[in-house]
Amino acid sequence: MSDAADRVRDLLEHVSEALGLDADVVVDEEGRNIRGILEGDDLGLFIGRHGTTIDAVQHLAFKVATRDVPPSAGIRVVIDAAGYRDRREQALQRQADDAAADAVRSGRPVALDAMSATERKVVHEYLKDRDDVETYSEGTEPDRHLVVAPLGS
């Protein structure tokens, strides 16, 4: 395991301990991708309201992993807990499907609630191959949101 992955493991263990969580830390490294996972029960405190805490920890993990690495190295760090990332991605895809259906049916753009850049990217990527809608972001952080707009026939 690389120094970057070890630093991610150390960070996750430190945060888990500081929050008083009974969790196991698993870090996998595949090429330039590092995935840190907390496994255990009652990890809501680590995930935080609307994923704010886990997103902040992911940002810190990226910073510690790439501390001595040039940006061109393309290292990607993902932090997950109790399957949160997969559940959130599925929820975002359902929202995207609903918004796309509403936009096509009404002929008007549909704005989703404010979300993080990571979540907006999930929706952009999910809808990018559709030929009946387009997506774009509007607003400024922290209220930046994604808009799903119908495309003319």
Q: How many CA atoms lie within 13 A of 36 on its CB side?
A: 29
If you search the block for the tokens 């760090």, which residue do you land on?
Answer: 77
Q: Does domain 3-82 have CATH number 4.10.640.10?
A: no
* Predicted local confidence at residue 117, as pLDDT: 85
Q: What is the pLDDT averaged over residues 30-46?
A: 94
Tens digit of each residue's pLDDT (9 = 90 or more) over 103-123 = 999 999 999 999 988 899 999
Count helices and strands in the chain by DSSP H and E runs: 5, 6
What's the token pair of residue 134? 């387009």
Tens digit of each residue's pLDDT (9 = 90 or more) over 117-142 = 889 999 999 999 999 999 999 999 88
* Predicted local confidence at residue 35, as pLDDT: 97
Mean pLDDT of the chain: 93
Handedness of CA 78, 79, 82, 84 (dihedral sign): negative
* Predicted local confidence at residue 70, as pLDDT: 79
Q: Is the pLDDT of residue 72 over 80?
A: no
* Predicted local confidence at residue 36, as pLDDT: 97
Q: Is the pLDDT of residue 153 over 70?
A: no
pTM above 0.85, yes or no: no
Q: Is the pLDDT of residue 29 over 60?
A: yes
* Predicted local confidence at residue 71, as pLDDT: 75
Q: Does domain 87-150 have CATH number 3.30.1370.50?
A: yes
Q: Greater confidence, 71 or 20? A: 20
Domain ranges of the chain: 3-82, 87-150
